[in-house]
Chain A
Amino acid sequence: MSKSRKHAQLSEFWRRYKKNKTAVMGLILLVMIVGMALFADLIVPYEKCIEQVGADRLQGPSMAHFFGTDEFGRDLFARVVHGSRYSLLIGLATSLMALAIGAVLGASAGYFGGVVDNVISRIIDVFMCVPPVLLSLAVVAALGTNLRNLIIAITVSCIPGNVRLIRSVVLTTAEQDYVEAAKSYGTSNARIIFRYVLPNAMGPIIVNTTMSISTMMLSAAGLSFIGMGIQPPSPEWGALLSNAQTYLFAAPYMLLFPGIFILLSSMAFNLVGDGLTDALDPKLKD
């Protein structure tokens, strides 16, 4: 595909995307949250996350501490801002890893069919029998609780769904004439899959990956909340909420802000995902 054609496709896509107001709002929200994670140190220095001010324990929101302070007198605004790095890192890392593994397995199953498809699909059937949260929990139980293991645990729970989706999309794409044509030229299978089949099957895959970032962020927060993910004193949002649970009566504001930020980031990815669905679907041109 020539450069200018690619460019034209992108601008056509953008023209359709920006017509959708909620999708644009989602994109703005997403940029703000990513910006917060990238420039966390400029917004508020990391030292504020760990600095314990004895006189300021369990203070409600004020001008000095926008989101109040926790039981050690640490500034919750700083902790929430820096906590965004965990959620985004986990959401992106797990979704992309699950996408890569899902693409290789799903595309092989859909493209080659036969024995390859049978073996992969049967293994996926087995994985699909374990509810995702349970699968993550089992992996965390075996490997131990830290950031790396949480990422592995959530990725594993996300792979089966990806394999199924990519397999079904590839299955329909692989029947197209241009794939037949590429085959007749003697193009290698790997090249056909990555150069012709996957790019043309990209729409649903991109949408699914965007939406899955939101799901993955929610499950990471959930696992951290029950103490099976990121451990305190790391300012991960789920861990902050887990800590806030102890002070429901004395300091309900501790609960409010980390939750709102989880909600906003997950909503941003959902809105962008919805927008992408509409912009990428040629059937919905009205």
Chain B
Amino acid sequence: MSKYIVKRLLYMIPVLLGVALLVFTILSLTPGDPGSIILGITAKKEDIAALNTQFGYDQPFFIRFFNYVGDIIFHFDLGTSYATRQPVMDSILARFPNTLLLAVLSMCLSAILGISMGIFSAVRQYSVMDHVCIVVALVFASMPGFWLGLMMLILFSLKLGLLPSFGADSLRHFILPALTLSLPSAAGLLRLTRASMLETVRQEYIRTARAKGASNKRVIWRHALRNALLPVVTTLGSGFGASLGGAIIAETVFAMPGMGTLMTTAIRQKDVPMVMGATLFLAVLFGLVILAVDIMYAFIDPRIKAKYQNGGKGRE
């Protein structure tokens, strides 16, 4: 097992460098140089050139990239914002906790809701409650999250006055955004869990367990559930990515100071280093979460464990 973990950890290094190159390349396609973005095209040529030198923009592409990555690794520095002339990292660290809290809250909420309702629905296949679950899940899974957020904002904040409609000052401010994010993804998880449960129940080892006289409860909880949840666990990693993405949009709905509002403002101001830094920061975080989920998966799935214990190698 430790061999597998070390292998995965080492593999993360080239992947993260690749992510840095990807993000750097995409955002380097932005037209304009720092000098003329900051000062405007009417400014004096010498001033523009001076600023470009200050931002290292007079260097060739790959030199700039290596400097960028070097600064990140050795100085934990993501460059200087065009708009505020302050370090990008400071702005990110100020905003990031809100986004992280929102993403984690909604992840947990959607996992609890989606998985439990999915099991419930599968165990009572074709019952009235099952049909209700399926229809509700279909509607929520097809719904644009930000629209749901706006509707809840009208109901709970404007009409009923129960919850605050903007900001991030207390945990109460996170209730509506977290619901906005988690309901659609819980719906997706419900559908997946249900389908996976029903697929598992049809397997032969379940029939064997039943033939051996195991009670229905024991078959579901002990034999079916563990196997049925394997495909669900693999989607939790990408689910976190979706939560981060959704958080970016939900923050706009609830005017929450997080990475999403930071990025949209930066994009409007053509603040390239800020957009680049924020994108890279979230991508690296997401990469680490995927890694953690993969390692966790290896612990849960006995097949992977067995593969590495025998030293055998197979194609994914």
In the complex, A240 Cα to B32 Cα: how many Å?
A: 31
Q: A226-B249, A238-B144 are in contact. List 7 more A-B contacts (CB 8 A).
A: A128-B290, A130-B283, A131-B282, A134-B245, A134-B283, A142-B27, A218-B144
Flag whether B139 is at the interface (Cβ < 8 A).
yes
Of A45-53, A96-104, A259-267, the one with at least 4 CB within 8 A of chain B:
A259-267
Binding site for A on B (CB under 8 A): 14-16, 18-19, 21-23, 26-31, 138-139, 141-147, 150-151, 153-154, 158, 241-242, 244-246, 248-249, 252-253, 260, 263-264, 266-268, 272, 275-276, 279, 282-284, 286-287, 290, 315
Of A30-38, A71-79, A119-127, the one with at least 4 CB within 8 A of chain B:
A119-127
Which A residues lie within 8 Å of B154 (CB)? 248, 252, 255
Count of chain A residues near B, Cβ 8 A: 45
Please determine whether B26 and A138 come into contact, CB atoms closer than 8 angstroms: yes
The A interface, classified by DSSP as helix, strand, loop or mixed, is: helix
Please determine whether A270 and B138 come into contact, CB atoms closer than 8 angstroms: yes
Please determine whether B242 and A141 come into contact, CB atoms closer than 8 angstroms: no
Please determine whether B27 and A134 come into contact, CB atoms closer than 8 angstroms: no
Please determine whether A142 and B30 come into contact, CB atoms closer than 8 angstroms: yes
Which B residues lie within 8 Å of A68 (CB)? none
Q: Which of A137, A140, A262 has the most B CB atoms < 10 Å from its CB?
A: A137
Please determine whether A134 and B141 come into contact, CB atoms closer than 8 angstroms: no
Which B residues lie within 8 Å of A248 (CB)? 150, 153-154, 158
Flag whether A133 is at the interface (Cβ < 8 A).
yes
Question: Could you list 17 examples of A-B contacts with CB < 8 Å?
Answer: A129-B15, A129-B287, A130-B19, A131-B242, A133-B246, A137-B263, A137-B275, A138-B23, A138-B26, A142-B29, A225-B146, A227-B264, A228-B264, A248-B154, A262-B144, A266-B143, A267-B138
User: Nearest Cβ in chain B — how far from A243, in angstroms?
Assistant: 12
Please determine whether A131 and B23 come into contact, CB atoms closer than 8 angstroms: no
Please determine whether B144 and A263 come into contact, CB atoms closer than 8 angstroms: yes
Please determine whether B29 and A226 come into contact, CB atoms closer than 8 angstroms: no
Chain A window 214-242, contacts with chain B (Cβ cutoff 8 Å), 1 for yes, 0 for no: 10001001100111100000000010010
Please determine whether A226 and B264 come into contact, CB atoms closer than 8 angstroms: yes
Flag whether A132 is at the interface (Cβ < 8 A).
yes
Decide yes or no: A259 and B287 within 8 Å by CB, A138-B26, A226-B249, A267-B138 being known contacts. Answer: no
Which A residues lie within 8 Å of B158 (CB)? 248-249
The chain B residue sitting closest to A238, CB to CB, is B144
In the complex, A131 Cα to B107 Cα: how many Å?
A: 15
The chain B residue sitting closest to A264, CB to CB, is B142
- Residue in contact with A123 in the complex, picked from B16, B18, B31, CB distance below 8 Å: B18
Q: Which of A133, A140, A271 has the most B CB atoms < 10 Å from its CB?
A: A133
The chain A residue sitting closest to B244, CB to CB, is A131
Which B residues lie within 8 Å of A225 (CB)? 144, 146, 249, 252
User: Nearest Cβ in chain B — how far from A119, in angstroms?
Assistant: 12
User: Nearest Cβ in chain A — how far from B236, in angstroms?
Assistant: 14
Please determine whether A141 and B275 come into contact, CB atoms closer than 8 angstroms: yes
Which B residues lie within 8 Å of A133 (CB)? 242, 244-246, 248-249
Please determine whether B252 and A226 come into contact, CB atoms closer than 8 angstroms: yes
The chain B residue sitting closest to A222, CB to CB, is B249
Which B residues lie within 8 Å of A138 (CB)? 23, 26-27, 275-276, 279
Decide yes or no: A222 and B144 within 8 Å by CB, A133-B248, A140-B267 being known contacts. Answer: yes
In the complex, A132 Cα to B246 Cα: how many Å?
A: 10
In the complex, A262 Cα to B267 Cα: how many Å?
A: 26
Chain A window 135-176, contacts with chain B (Cβ cutoff 8 Å), 1 for yes, 0 for no: 001111111100000000000000000000000000100000
User: Nearest Cβ in chain B — how far from A122, in angstroms?
Assistant: 8
Decide yes or no: A134 and B22 within 8 Å by CB, A143-B29, A255-B147 being known contacts. Answer: no
Please determine whether A132 and B26 come into contact, CB atoms closer than 8 angstroms: no
Decide yes or no: A134 and B248 within 8 Å by CB, A249-B158, A270-B141 being known contacts. Answer: yes
In the complex, A264 Cα to B153 Cα: how many Å?
A: 21
Which B residues lie within 8 Å of A171 (CB)? 315
The chain B residue sitting closest to A130, CB to CB, is B283
Which A residues lie within 8 Å of B26 (CB)? 138-139, 142
Please determine whether A270 and B142 come into contact, CB atoms closer than 8 angstroms: yes
Flag whether A245 is at the interface (Cβ < 8 A).
yes
In the complex, A244 Cα to B146 Cα: how many Å?
A: 12
Decide yes or no: A255 and B241 within 8 Å by CB, A127-B22, A228-B264, A271-B138 being known contacts. Answer: no
